[in-house]
Chain A
């Protein structure tokens, strides 16, 4: 279980960082999404891994999972979803204005 979760976070982070370093906006956005999935799983793991435990008080429960990281992950998911939507719209706007989807700035226009 621990190995599975840890390697899932590691693989997602690594592929996210690789994609983020690409030149075009689409891979960058996919990379950012991968990175945010990785951090969501990481947030879950920060409350220790517990299988089949109740997160809220229950008379029949034998033990509890930490509910706080679940709330944090929920908040993080909502925020990263909204942010991804914003960057998709902006990348689309930049593509339609500029005619290409490169991330870097044109050195001459920058002046």
Chain B
């Protein structure tokens, strides 16, 4: 048994309480320990990604209990990829938070940040549905604290809505899990896959109810229409770096759909058939429409970034809804891309809002410091999210379009029309914030030089470099993802690895 598999959960779980208990008055120590563990996580997740790339899924039996009886963690290529993505994003966002001083505007930023990363890593690694619920709660409760970091009445009120929405989601998740357990008698995902295939026809209706309930929970996490209402208010009011970290939180919903539905409810299951795919695809297409219209009509930069996030989740779910290897591979490529691009946009928006005093896209234009550099970064993020060449958004959308040839007219026109609306929306925002403000500057009102914050810009450029690398290495990355997607849909390796010791019980 490879004990390193549990390290991405144990490491933050140890360091975060240490930060709260031992160094809560010393910001510098918090920064050092927070950064050190983030660097360690990047190294660790890189090593796990390397070891998962060669060979079958590896299973970690907690307490050494054999599979359907105890909880398991499973490291396969998908889980390793998600953990690595989270670690890299967390490190960059943490650097940004330190560079801009966001972490000094409230207490316990670094501890909550590490708890959030712990919840994310746990959700990606676990092979047990109830354990997935527990890690969802871990990441949520940390996100509640991060969301209201820095305080303020408006942020607190948005936070209450966010918590209430997610509490409803958690309750739904419990209803779904209880129904799954009542029907199949197991919550282990691999065991679930075996039992669902052998289910007597009389129980099919209950199983479908459970499956749809669970899909709704993941749709709340992934901000799929009609359950996306929490996202714009939350992301627009959250601190910039926190919103950037939340870029990976919506992806947890997409990950969970890929994991649970590709494993336990493949489209050839007699009890459920293509039910989930039929529900997901229309919802995803409406999500693209809502997101891109939102980008066009948003009143502030932060809300625009949030709606861009919704639109990218729509593209992602449209590819996921096909439930076949080529589309899943495209979805995973787009998932990596949209996580990085969404984070870049949120960080740039935070920098602009900080220098300009507000992020309004209406009313008077005003000049602000470093607007040339920020305009270039905003352009880069907009190009990436709208999916125009030369960045990886173009390749990602191309892969998705190529994989979804079945419903050519409808799907292609929605995705391409959405991209067009996003280009218009970003162009309007860019010209209002950056361009027009330059035309009206009298010399005596030139913006005062502000602190340059090199660390924050380094963090944004690092994410941008990640997008460039993803574009340049598009071929090898998508070849790797093809194998990953193949492994997800040939379920035997995963089920075999988890259930290898089932006889011992």
B161: nearest chain-A partner, CB-CB? A103
Q: Which of A32, A39, A69, A109 contacts B164 (CB 8 A)?
A: A32
Whether the pair A109, B154 counts as a contact (CB closer than 8 A) is: yes
Q: Is the CB of A94 within 8 A of B159?
A: yes
Which residue of chain B has its CB nearest to the CB of A17?
B168
The 0/1 profile, CB within 8 Å of B marked 1, for residues 25-63 of chain A is 100110010011011001101111000000000000000
Is A87 an interface residue when CB atoms closer than 8 A count as contact? yes
**Nearest-Cβ distance from residue A35 to partner chain B, whole angstroms:** 5
Given known contacts A90-B159, A90-B160, A68 and B174 CB-to-CB distance under 8 angstroms: no
**Judging by beta carbons under 8 Å apart, are B134 and A79 in contact?**
yes
- Alpha-carbon separation in the docked complex, A38 to B168 (Å): 12
Chain B stretch 168-184: residues in CB contact (< 8 A) with chain A: 168, 170-171, 174-175, 177-179, 181-182
- Check B168 against A32 for contact (C-beta < 8 Å): yes
Which of B159, B171, B360 is A36 in contact with, Cβ under 8 Å?
B171
Q: Is A93 an interface residue (CB 8 A)?
A: yes
B157 touches A105 (CB 8 A): yes
Residues of B near A109 (CB, < 8 A) are 154
Interface positions, chain B 461-486, Cβ under 8 Å from A, are none
B79 to chain A, nearest CB (A): 22
Task: Chain B residues near A75: list those with CB within 8 A.
Answer: 130, 134
Contacts of B144 in A (CB 8 A): 86, 90
Cα–Cα, bound, A29→B154 (Å): 19
Task: Say whether B357 faces chain A, with CB atoms less than 8 Å apart.
Answer: no
Q: What residue in chain B is nearest A79 (Cβ atoms)?
A: B137
Residues of chain A at interface, number, CB under 8 A = 38
A46-B178, A105-B161 known; A83-B156 Cβ under 8 A: no
**Contact call A111/B300, Cβ cutoff below 8 A:** yes
Contacts of B167 in A (CB 8 A): 32, 35-36, 80, 83-84, 87
Which residues of B364-423 have CB atoms within 8 Å of chain A's CB atoms?
none
Is A42's CB under 8 angstroms from B178's CB? yes
CB distance from B149 to the nearest CB of A (A): 12
Q: Which residues of A contact B148 (CB under 8 A)?
A: 90, 93
Residues of B within 8 A of A87 (CB): 160, 163-164, 167
Q: In the assembled complex, which residues on chain A have CB atoms less than 8 Å from the CB atom of B170?
A: 79-80, 83
Q: A100's closest neighbor in chain B, by CB?
A: B157
Among B130, B141, B160, B300, point to the contact of A82 (Cβ < 8 A): B141
Give residues in B with beta carbon < 8 Å to A.
Answer: 130, 134, 137, 140-141, 144, 148, 151-154, 156-161, 163-164, 167-168, 170-171, 174-175, 177-179, 181-182, 233, 299-300, 360
